[in-house]
């Protein structure tokens, strides 16, 4: 069964006109979850990856599993105020305001190859902030991998303009 068919669509969430792509149905399906992780890993099995960075929160689940399969370390990219040690921070714009992501200052060694993983790419704002953090920490982003892409929102183009390869396992048209 294709990964896309295991993703639930919730209309009008979080607001009217939005079709929310919910991967929790995929994660709770043992075969679907395994297939997803296996496919994410296969995209990069021949790449030199030193660490996987996952964006809070679903990127932790997927990124941790991918890091395990690739036998590399994992870097949590968290919302502001959640990490206990010294951090680097990057703010980014949301539809209504701003948010901030952080990583530990010692999470990445200068020159490490980092694979960025998250569940979904829409406008690309969160991923862009994560890429900026990784680069400021001395890492080289060798790819950005997502389960779901919403192509109409332009996230792929935004990240490619930063020189990053973008891969997604499936896409959904519309918002």
Distances (CA, A) of 78 to 47, 53, 98: 25, 10, 15
Catalytic residue list contains 46 = no
Catalytic residue of the set 15, 46, 95, 110: 95
Q: Domain spans of the chain?
A: 46-171
Question: What backbone torsions phi and psi does residue 6 show, to the nearest 5 degrees?
Answer: -100, 5
Task: For the domain made up of 46-171, give the CATH fold.
Answer: Rossmann fold (3.40.50)
Confidence of residue 135 (pLDDT cuts 50, 70, 90): very high
Average pLDDT over residues 27-53: 96
Is residue 170 pLDDT above 90, yes or no? Answer: yes
Write down the pLDDT at residue 97. Answer: 81
Q: Is 95 a catalytic residue?
A: yes
pLDDT of residue 175: 63
What is the percent of the chain with per-residue pLDDT over 70, rounded to a whole number? 99
Catalytic residue among 6, 21, 58, 158: 58
Note whether 121 and 150 are within 8 A (CB): yes
User: How far apart are alpha carbons 73 and 75 in whole angstroms?
Assistant: 7
* Among 87, 82, 169, 168, CA closest to 124: 168
The C-alpha angle 82, 86, 91, rounded to 5 degrees, equals 60
Task: Report the candidate in 52, 81, 82, 48 with the shortest Cα–Cα distance to residue 64.
Answer: 52
Enumerate long-range contacts of 14-17, CB under 8 Å, 24 or more apart.
17/175
Per DSSP, the three-state class of 22 is strand
How many Å apart are CA 69 and CA 85, to the nearest integer?
A: 27
């Amino acid at each position: 069964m294709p990964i896309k068919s295991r993703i639930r669509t919730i209309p009008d969430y979080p607001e009217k006109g939005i079709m929310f792509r919910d991967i929790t149905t995929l994660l709770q399906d043992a075969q679907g979850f395994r297939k997803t992780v296996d496919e994410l890993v296969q995209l990069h099995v021949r790449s030199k990856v030193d660490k996987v960075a996952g964006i809070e929160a679903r990127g932790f689940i997927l990124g941790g599993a991918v890091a395990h399969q690739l036998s590399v370390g994992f870097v949590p990219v968290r919302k502001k105020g959640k990490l206990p040690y010294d951090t680097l921070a990057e703010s980014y714009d949301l539809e209504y305001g701003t948010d901030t992501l952080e990583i530990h200052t010692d999470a990445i060694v200068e020159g490490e190859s980092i694979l960025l993983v998250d569940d979904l790419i829409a406008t690309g704002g969160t991923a862009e902030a994560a890429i900026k953090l990784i680069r400021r920490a001395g890492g080289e982003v060798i790819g950005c991998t997502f389960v779901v892409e919403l192509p109409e929102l332009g996230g792929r183009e935004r990240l490619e303009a930063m020189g990053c390869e973008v891969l997604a396992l499936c896409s959904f048209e519309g918002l």
